[in-house]
Amino acid sequence: MMLHAMQPLLGLLGETPDPGRLTLADWDLVVRQARRADVLARVGALAKMYGVWDAIAPAPRQHIASALALATRQQRELHFEVGHIEKALRSVGVPTVLLKGGAYALAGLNASLGRMVSDVDILVPRERLSDVETALMMAGWVQTSHDAYDQHYYRTWMHELPPLRHMHRGAVLDVHHAIVPLTARARPSTQHLLQSAQLLPGQPGVHVLSPPDMVLHSAAHLFHESEFERGFRGVVDLDALLREFGAETDFWRCLLERSQVLGLEWPLHHALRYTQIIMDTQVPDFASEALAGSVPTSAWRSRLRDAVYLRALLPAHASTQDAWTPFARGALYVRGHTLRMPLHLLAPHLLRKTFYGLRPKGYP
Protein backbone atom coordinates (compact mmCIF):
# COMPACT_ATOMS: atom_id res chain seq x y z
CA MET A 1 0.00 0.00 0.00
CA MET A 2 1.23 3.51 -0.81
CA LEU A 3 0.81 4.57 2.81
CA HIS A 4 3.91 2.50 3.55
CA ALA A 5 6.03 5.07 1.69
CA MET A 6 4.68 7.75 4.00
CA GLN A 7 5.49 6.13 7.32
CA PRO A 8 8.47 8.41 8.11
CA LEU A 9 6.36 11.53 7.46
CA LEU A 10 3.31 10.18 9.29
CA GLY A 11 5.49 9.39 12.29
CA LEU A 12 6.65 13.02 12.42
CA LEU A 13 3.05 14.27 12.28
CA GLY A 14 1.90 12.03 15.13
CA GLU A 15 1.97 12.50 18.89
CA THR A 16 5.39 10.86 19.42
CA PRO A 17 7.69 12.17 16.66
CA ASP A 18 11.16 10.63 16.71
CA PRO A 19 13.23 12.43 14.05
CA GLY A 20 16.48 10.96 15.35
CA ARG A 21 15.67 7.54 13.90
CA LEU A 22 15.39 8.77 10.31
CA THR A 23 18.21 8.33 7.83
CA LEU A 24 19.18 11.03 5.35
CA ALA A 25 17.40 9.01 2.66
CA ASP A 26 14.27 9.06 4.83
CA TRP A 27 14.61 12.82 5.28
CA ASP A 28 15.00 13.37 1.56
CA LEU A 29 11.63 11.69 1.00
CA VAL A 30 9.97 13.38 4.00
CA VAL A 31 10.95 16.87 2.86
CA ARG A 32 9.72 16.25 -0.68
CA GLN A 33 6.42 14.70 0.40
CA ALA A 34 5.76 17.31 3.09
CA ARG A 35 6.56 20.21 0.78
CA ARG A 36 4.15 18.92 -1.87
CA ALA A 37 1.46 18.49 0.79
CA ASP A 38 2.12 21.91 2.37
CA VAL A 39 2.83 20.39 5.81
CA LEU A 40 6.61 20.86 6.02
CA ALA A 41 6.26 23.70 8.51
CA ARG A 42 3.97 21.57 10.66
CA VAL A 43 6.71 18.94 10.91
CA GLY A 44 8.95 21.62 12.41
CA ALA A 45 6.28 23.07 14.70
CA LEU A 46 5.50 19.65 16.16
CA ALA A 47 9.20 18.87 16.60
CA LYS A 48 9.58 22.07 18.60
CA MET A 49 6.44 21.39 20.65
CA TYR A 50 7.60 17.88 21.58
CA GLY A 51 11.17 19.00 22.26
CA VAL A 52 12.85 17.00 19.49
CA TRP A 53 13.90 19.83 17.18
CA ASP A 54 17.60 19.24 17.79
CA ALA A 55 17.21 15.60 16.74
CA ILE A 56 16.45 16.67 13.16
CA ALA A 57 19.49 16.26 10.92
CA PRO A 58 21.13 19.60 9.97
CA ALA A 59 20.40 19.44 6.23
CA PRO A 60 16.63 18.85 6.44
CA ARG A 61 16.43 21.19 9.43
CA GLN A 62 17.32 24.10 7.13
CA HIS A 63 14.41 23.32 4.80
CA ILE A 64 12.01 22.85 7.70
CA ALA A 65 13.16 26.04 9.44
CA SER A 66 12.58 28.01 6.25
CA ALA A 67 9.04 26.66 5.88
CA LEU A 68 8.33 27.30 9.55
CA ALA A 69 9.55 30.89 9.28
CA LEU A 70 7.15 31.46 6.35
CA ALA A 71 4.21 29.96 8.26
CA THR A 72 5.05 32.11 11.30
CA ARG A 73 5.17 35.25 9.16
CA GLN A 74 1.87 34.41 7.46
CA GLN A 75 0.13 33.91 10.79
CA ARG A 76 1.57 37.14 12.16
CA GLU A 77 0.27 39.01 9.10
CA LEU A 78 -3.05 37.21 9.51
CA HIS A 79 -3.61 38.82 12.91
CA PHE A 80 -2.97 42.22 11.37
CA GLU A 81 -5.38 41.61 8.46
CA VAL A 82 -8.14 40.27 10.70
CA GLY A 83 -8.00 43.47 12.73
CA HIS A 84 -8.61 45.53 9.58
CA ILE A 85 -11.37 43.20 8.37
CA GLU A 86 -13.13 43.35 11.74
CA LYS A 87 -12.99 47.14 11.72
CA ALA A 88 -14.52 47.29 8.23
CA LEU A 89 -17.33 44.85 9.06
CA ARG A 90 -18.03 46.53 12.40
CA SER A 91 -18.94 49.67 10.47
CA VAL A 92 -21.96 47.84 8.98
CA GLY A 93 -22.79 45.77 12.08
CA VAL A 94 -21.62 42.40 10.76
CA PRO A 95 -19.48 40.20 13.04
CA THR A 96 -16.23 38.75 11.71
CA VAL A 97 -16.51 34.95 11.63
CA LEU A 98 -13.28 33.28 10.55
CA LEU A 99 -13.06 29.98 8.71
CA LYS A 100 -10.36 27.35 8.13
CA GLY A 101 -6.69 28.26 8.75
CA GLY A 102 -7.47 31.78 9.96
CA ALA A 103 -9.84 30.39 12.57
CA TYR A 104 -7.33 27.79 13.74
CA ALA A 105 -4.61 30.42 14.13
CA LEU A 106 -6.67 33.11 15.89
CA ALA A 107 -8.20 30.52 18.22
CA GLY A 108 -4.76 29.11 19.03
CA LEU A 109 -5.73 25.55 18.12
CA ASN A 110 -3.22 22.75 17.62
CA ALA A 111 -4.30 22.65 13.98
CA SER A 112 -2.59 26.04 13.55
CA LEU A 113 0.88 24.69 14.40
CA GLY A 114 2.94 25.26 11.27
CA ARG A 115 -0.26 25.91 9.29
CA MET A 116 0.26 27.96 6.13
CA VAL A 117 -2.40 30.69 5.79
CA SER A 118 -2.14 32.35 2.39
CA ASP A 119 -5.55 34.06 2.55
CA VAL A 120 -8.34 34.90 4.99
CA ASP A 121 -11.76 33.25 4.84
CA ILE A 122 -14.82 34.73 6.54
CA LEU A 123 -18.50 33.75 6.76
CA VAL A 124 -21.25 36.37 6.57
CA PRO A 125 -25.06 36.27 6.13
CA ARG A 126 -26.07 36.14 2.47
CA GLU A 127 -28.59 38.93 2.97
CA ARG A 128 -25.79 41.25 4.12
CA LEU A 129 -23.44 40.56 1.20
CA SER A 130 -24.03 43.96 -0.40
CA ASP A 131 -23.24 45.81 2.83
CA VAL A 132 -20.19 43.64 3.48
CA GLU A 133 -18.80 44.11 -0.01
CA THR A 134 -19.29 47.87 0.14
CA ALA A 135 -17.59 48.11 3.53
CA LEU A 136 -14.63 46.05 2.35
CA MET A 137 -14.27 48.08 -0.85
CA MET A 138 -14.21 51.27 1.22
CA ALA A 139 -11.40 49.67 3.27
CA GLY A 140 -9.31 48.96 0.16
CA TRP A 141 -10.38 45.45 -0.90
CA VAL A 142 -10.94 45.08 -4.65
CA GLN A 143 -12.03 42.32 -7.02
CA THR A 144 -9.30 40.08 -8.47
CA SER A 145 -11.44 38.99 -11.43
CA HIS A 146 -13.17 41.31 -13.89
CA ASP A 147 -14.38 38.54 -16.19
CA ALA A 148 -18.18 38.87 -16.54
CA TYR A 149 -18.75 35.11 -16.63
CA ASP A 150 -16.66 34.50 -13.50
CA GLN A 151 -18.56 37.22 -11.66
CA HIS A 152 -21.87 35.68 -12.70
CA TYR A 153 -20.68 32.17 -11.82
CA TYR A 154 -19.60 33.15 -8.31
CA ARG A 155 -22.55 35.39 -7.51
CA THR A 156 -25.25 33.10 -8.89
CA TRP A 157 -24.10 29.60 -7.99
CA MET A 158 -21.17 29.64 -5.60
CA HIS A 159 -20.96 29.95 -1.83
CA GLU A 160 -18.55 32.87 -1.90
CA LEU A 161 -17.78 36.10 -3.69
CA PRO A 162 -14.93 36.23 -6.19
CA PRO A 163 -11.67 36.60 -4.22
CA LEU A 164 -10.81 40.10 -3.02
CA ARG A 165 -7.29 41.53 -2.80
CA HIS A 166 -6.22 44.53 -0.78
CA MET A 167 -4.96 47.20 -3.15
CA HIS A 168 -2.04 48.17 -0.90
CA ARG A 169 -1.13 45.13 1.18
CA GLY A 170 -1.90 42.45 -1.42
CA ALA A 171 -3.65 40.19 1.10
CA VAL A 172 -6.38 37.93 -0.32
CA LEU A 173 -9.81 37.67 1.28
CA ASP A 174 -12.53 35.09 0.53
CA VAL A 175 -16.01 36.16 1.62
CA HIS A 176 -18.30 33.14 2.10
CA HIS A 177 -22.04 33.25 2.64
CA ALA A 178 -22.31 29.44 2.87
CA ILE A 179 -19.89 26.56 3.33
CA VAL A 180 -20.86 24.69 0.16
CA PRO A 181 -22.14 26.05 -3.18
CA LEU A 182 -25.79 27.05 -3.45
CA THR A 183 -26.29 24.36 -6.11
CA ALA A 184 -24.82 21.55 -3.97
CA ARG A 185 -26.94 18.61 -2.90
CA ALA A 186 -26.35 19.32 0.79
CA ARG A 187 -27.08 22.89 1.89
CA PRO A 188 -26.07 23.44 5.52
CA SER A 189 -27.81 26.44 7.07
CA THR A 190 -25.50 29.45 7.34
CA GLN A 191 -27.85 30.85 9.96
CA HIS A 192 -27.31 27.79 12.16
CA LEU A 193 -23.53 28.12 11.78
CA LEU A 194 -23.51 31.83 12.62
CA GLN A 195 -25.84 31.41 15.59
CA SER A 196 -23.44 28.88 17.15
CA ALA A 197 -20.26 30.85 16.37
CA GLN A 198 -18.10 31.67 19.38
CA LEU A 199 -16.49 34.99 20.25
CA LEU A 200 -12.73 34.69 20.75
CA PRO A 201 -11.59 35.84 24.20
CA GLY A 202 -9.61 39.07 24.10
CA GLN A 203 -10.41 39.66 20.41
CA PRO A 204 -13.49 41.90 20.25
CA GLY A 205 -15.73 41.26 17.27
CA VAL A 206 -13.83 38.18 16.06
CA HIS A 207 -15.62 34.83 16.07
CA VAL A 208 -14.97 31.26 14.96
CA LEU A 209 -17.35 28.36 14.37
CA SER A 210 -18.16 26.09 17.29
CA PRO A 211 -15.89 23.01 17.61
CA PRO A 212 -18.39 20.58 16.00
CA ASP A 213 -19.13 23.04 13.20
CA MET A 214 -15.42 23.62 12.63
CA VAL A 215 -14.88 19.88 12.10
CA LEU A 216 -17.95 19.62 9.85
CA HIS A 217 -16.86 22.58 7.74
CA SER A 218 -13.39 21.08 7.33
CA ALA A 219 -14.96 17.75 6.30
CA ALA A 220 -17.45 19.38 3.91
CA HIS A 221 -14.72 21.52 2.35
CA LEU A 222 -12.40 18.57 1.80
CA PHE A 223 -14.90 16.05 0.47
CA HIS A 224 -16.75 18.48 -1.80
CA GLU A 225 -13.44 19.27 -3.50
CA SER A 226 -12.76 18.39 -7.10
CA GLU A 227 -9.00 18.93 -6.88
CA PHE A 228 -7.02 17.23 -4.13
CA GLU A 229 -3.56 18.79 -4.37
CA ARG A 230 -3.91 19.79 -0.70
CA GLY A 231 -6.07 16.86 0.26
CA PHE A 232 -3.48 15.45 2.64
CA ARG A 233 -3.26 18.79 4.46
CA GLY A 234 -7.03 18.63 4.86
CA VAL A 235 -6.66 15.21 6.49
CA VAL A 236 -3.96 16.60 8.80
CA ASP A 237 -6.25 19.50 9.76
CA LEU A 238 -9.10 17.13 10.56
CA ASP A 239 -6.83 14.86 12.59
CA ALA A 240 -5.62 17.81 14.68
CA LEU A 241 -9.15 19.11 15.27
CA LEU A 242 -10.52 15.70 16.22
CA ARG A 243 -7.66 14.96 18.60
CA GLU A 244 -8.03 18.32 20.36
CA PHE A 245 -11.81 18.57 20.50
CA GLY A 246 -12.34 14.83 20.98
CA ALA A 247 -10.88 15.04 24.48
CA GLU A 248 -13.81 17.23 25.58
CA THR A 249 -16.84 15.69 27.28
CA ASP A 250 -19.80 15.11 24.96
CA PHE A 251 -17.93 16.36 21.87
CA TRP A 252 -18.58 13.22 19.83
CA ARG A 253 -22.27 13.17 20.70
CA CYS A 254 -22.60 16.85 19.80
CA LEU A 255 -20.68 16.29 16.55
CA LEU A 256 -23.03 13.51 15.45
CA GLU A 257 -26.12 15.53 16.34
CA ARG A 258 -24.79 18.57 14.55
CA SER A 259 -23.98 16.58 11.41
CA GLN A 260 -27.67 15.59 11.25
CA VAL A 261 -28.87 19.16 11.77
CA LEU A 262 -26.61 20.45 8.99
CA GLY A 263 -27.08 17.46 6.68
CA LEU A 264 -23.36 16.65 6.63
CA GLU A 265 -23.35 13.03 7.78
CA TRP A 266 -21.57 11.65 4.71
CA PRO A 267 -18.66 14.13 4.71
CA LEU A 268 -18.22 13.42 8.42
CA HIS A 269 -18.27 9.68 7.73
CA HIS A 270 -15.47 10.11 5.18
CA ALA A 271 -13.53 12.42 7.50
CA LEU A 272 -13.57 9.93 10.36
CA ARG A 273 -12.78 6.93 8.16
CA TYR A 274 -9.82 8.42 6.32
CA THR A 275 -8.26 10.19 9.30
CA GLN A 276 -8.39 6.83 11.08
CA ILE A 277 -6.76 4.99 8.19
CA ILE A 278 -4.15 7.60 7.28
CA MET A 279 -3.38 9.38 10.58
CA ASP A 280 -4.48 6.70 13.08
CA THR A 281 -6.94 9.17 14.63
CA GLN A 282 -8.81 7.69 17.58
CA VAL A 283 -12.55 7.67 16.83
CA PRO A 284 -15.11 6.08 19.18
CA ASP A 285 -16.78 3.02 17.71
CA PHE A 286 -20.25 4.45 18.33
CA ALA A 287 -19.44 7.46 16.14
CA SER A 288 -18.35 5.32 13.20
CA GLU A 289 -21.35 3.03 13.63
CA ALA A 290 -23.80 5.94 13.80
CA LEU A 291 -22.57 7.25 10.44
CA ALA A 292 -22.43 3.89 8.65
CA GLY A 293 -25.84 4.40 7.07
CA SER A 294 -24.92 7.75 5.53
CA VAL A 295 -23.05 6.11 2.62
CA PRO A 296 -23.59 2.96 0.54
CA THR A 297 -22.14 0.11 2.57
CA SER A 298 -21.89 -2.80 0.10
CA ALA A 299 -18.47 -4.42 0.10
CA TRP A 300 -17.60 -3.49 -3.48
CA ARG A 301 -18.64 0.15 -3.00
CA SER A 302 -16.54 0.45 0.14
CA ARG A 303 -13.50 -1.09 -1.55
CA LEU A 304 -13.89 1.20 -4.57
CA ARG A 305 -14.34 4.28 -2.39
CA ASP A 306 -11.23 3.43 -0.38
CA ALA A 307 -9.21 2.72 -3.52
CA VAL A 308 -10.10 6.16 -4.88
CA TYR A 309 -9.77 8.30 -1.76
CA LEU A 310 -6.65 6.60 -0.42
CA ARG A 311 -4.91 7.59 -3.63
CA ALA A 312 -6.28 11.11 -3.99
CA LEU A 313 -5.75 12.11 -0.35
CA LEU A 314 -2.02 11.33 -0.31
CA PRO A 315 0.58 13.96 -1.32
CA ALA A 316 1.01 14.45 -5.06
CA HIS A 317 4.47 12.88 -5.09
CA ALA A 318 5.83 9.97 -7.13
CA SER A 319 6.41 7.90 -3.98
CA THR A 320 2.72 7.99 -3.09
CA GLN A 321 1.27 7.40 -6.55
CA ASP A 322 0.72 4.38 -8.77
CA ALA A 323 -0.76 3.79 -12.21
CA TRP A 324 -4.29 4.20 -10.84
CA THR A 325 -3.75 7.53 -9.09
CA PRO A 326 -4.56 9.72 -12.14
CA PHE A 327 -7.81 7.80 -12.60
CA ALA A 328 -8.70 8.26 -8.92
CA ARG A 329 -8.04 11.98 -9.06
CA GLY A 330 -9.97 12.25 -12.33
CA ALA A 331 -12.96 10.43 -10.88
CA LEU A 332 -13.03 12.71 -7.85
CA TYR A 333 -12.63 15.76 -10.08
CA VAL A 334 -15.85 14.83 -11.86
CA ARG A 335 -17.58 13.80 -8.63
CA GLY A 336 -16.63 17.06 -6.92
CA HIS A 337 -18.22 19.06 -9.70
CA THR A 338 -21.39 16.95 -9.71
CA LEU A 339 -21.71 17.40 -5.94
CA ARG A 340 -21.54 21.17 -6.35
CA MET A 341 -23.66 21.66 -9.44
CA PRO A 342 -26.47 19.80 -11.28
CA LEU A 343 -25.66 18.44 -14.73
CA HIS A 344 -27.66 21.00 -16.70
CA LEU A 345 -25.48 23.76 -15.19
CA LEU A 346 -22.28 21.75 -14.95
CA ALA A 347 -22.01 20.68 -18.60
CA PRO A 348 -21.99 24.18 -20.15
CA HIS A 349 -19.74 25.46 -17.35
CA LEU A 350 -17.10 22.78 -17.92
CA LEU A 351 -17.32 23.20 -21.70
CA ARG A 352 -16.71 26.91 -21.33
CA LYS A 353 -13.80 26.42 -18.95
CA THR A 354 -12.28 23.79 -21.25
CA PHE A 355 -12.59 26.05 -24.28
CA TYR A 356 -11.03 29.03 -22.53
CA GLY A 357 -8.31 26.83 -21.06
CA LEU A 358 -7.30 25.71 -24.55
CA ARG A 359 -6.99 29.23 -25.96
CA PRO A 360 -3.47 30.54 -26.62
CA LYS A 361 -2.07 32.55 -23.73
CA GLY A 362 -2.89 36.22 -24.12
CA TYR A 363 -5.87 35.52 -26.39
CA PRO A 364 -8.67 38.00 -25.57
Q: Which residues contact 68 (CB under 8 A, 6 or more apart)?
A: 41, 44, 45, 48, 114
Structure confidence at residue 35 (pLDDT): 97
Indicate if the pLDDT at residue 130 is higher than 70: yes
Residue 348 pLDDT grade (very low, low, confident, very high; cuts 50, 70, 90):
low
Structure confidence at residue 54 (pLDDT): 97
Count CB-CB contacts under 10 A for residue 220: 26
Residue 269 pLDDT grade (very low, low, confident, very high; cuts 50, 70, 90):
very high
CA dihedral defined by 135, 147, 164, 178, rounded to 10 degrees? 80
What are the tens digits of pLDDT across the range 51-60? 999 999 999 9
Q: What is the mean pLDDT of residues 41-50?
A: 97
Structure confidence at residue 165 (pLDDT): 95
Q: What is the mean pLDDT of residues 158-173?
A: 90
What are the tens digits of pLDDT across the range 306-346? 999 999 999 999 999 999 999 999 888 888 777 766 665 55
